[in-house]
Amino acid sequence: MIVILLGPPGAGKGTQAQRIEKMQGLVQLSTGDMLRAAVIANTEVGKKAKGFMEAGRLVTDKIVIKIIEDRIQEGDCKKGFLLDGFPRTLTQAKALDNMLDQKSLKLDAVVEIQVDDRDLVDRIIGRYTCTNCNQGYHGENLKPKVDGVCDDCGSTNFKRRVDDNQETVSSRLEAYHCQTAPLLPYYEEQGVLKVVNGMVDIDDVSVQINDVLSSLN
Ligand code: ADP
Ligand code: AMP
């Protein structure tokens, strides 16, 4: 199964992708995570991406398309994958269509997680993750069961993203509305767009997404 999770920054794509990965064994491909790893490793890609990411702007299509092209060749993608944060422009969407065509694969669904802009800021500012296993949390909405201890791996080290600040959020939302939202009619026309309400509890969003995924099996 090949599924795209689409939605603005902070909509809950990563949170839901981690859950689907655990429940369905579908590998999560997050271009944001891959780019952050490249920045930390100070690779050529990381050096090129860093400035764009810190400014809340999209990294160039060429860079992210190459990352995904390479990643989907790997063995763990054979059973399918879940795209989180890619595609984000029409150029990327068309490149993905070509990649799938060449492998005789088809896109099963694009799940749009709808959340109003006014709710996204609190979600982004409150977000943090486990440094060891990348499990996502939120200061108010999703705390570890034991304060300061990761539910998944027991680590006590957590981190916040450098781009999760008030200044960058508005650029990131603008990038979403101008460059990514045009993908919605694009996928609607392909007949693969499924919309879920992202303004309810995390568990309730998962139920809606599971319903969509079950309807595809
Ligand atoms: P995205 O990957 O779309 O940028 P995340 O999955 O990282 O978004 O979610 C952003 C923050 O909002 C995280 O801290 C997460 O715990 C929290 N969050 C996710 N979904 C919900 C929800 N339905 N209600 C409240 N908070 C949520
Ligand atoms: P994310 O973790 O999905 O919120 O992405 C963090 C940042 O990485 C974005 O603000 C962009 O700068 C960059 N990025 C991630 N995915 C893409 C993409 N598909 N196209 C362009 N830039 C991306």
- pLDDT tens-digit profile of 167-213? 899 999 999 999 999 999 999 999 999 999 999 999 999 999 999 99
pLDDT of residue 130: 97
Max Cα distance, the chain (Å):
48
pLDDT of residue 24: 86
State mean pLDDT over 72-90.
96
12 lines ligand 1 (CB under 6 A): yes
Instruction: Give the residue carrying structure tokens 């993908």.
Output: 183
Q: Residue 160 C-alpha to ligand 1 middle, in angstroms?
A: 13
- Residue 66: nearest ligand to its CA? 2
Q: Residue 107 C-alpha to ligand 1 middle, in angstroms?
A: 24
Could you identify the atom of ligand 1 that is nearest to the CA of residue 199? 23
Question: Of 209, 187, 28, 2, which Cα lies nearest the Cα of 106?
Answer: 2
Residue 44 has pLDDT above 70, yes or no: yes
88 lines ligand 1 (CB under 6 A): no
Residue 5 has pLDDT above 90, yes or no: yes
Mean pLDDT of all residues in the chain? 96
Taking the whole predicted model, whether its pTM rises above 0.85 is answered as yes
State mean pLDDT over 96-122.
96
CA distance 89 to 188: 15
pLDDT of residue 185: 98
59 lines ligand 2 (CB under 6 A): yes
Which letter does DSSP use for residue 141 in this model? T
Beta strands in the chain (DSSP E): 2-6, 27-30, 81-84, 109-114, 127-130, 136-138, 158-159, 193-197
Q: How far is CA 127 from the centre of its chain?
A: 14
Checking DSSP bridges between strand 81-84 and strand 109-114, what pairing results, if any?
unpaired
Instruction: Give the residue carrying structure tokens 């490793």.
Output: 41
Checking DSSP bridges between strand 81-84 and strand 193-197, what pairing results, if any?
unpaired
pLDDT of residue 217: 66
> What are the distances in angstroms from CA 59 to CA 14, 36, 85, 86, 203?
19, 12, 12, 11, 32
Q: Residue 112 C-alpha to ligand 1 middle, in angstroms?
A: 14
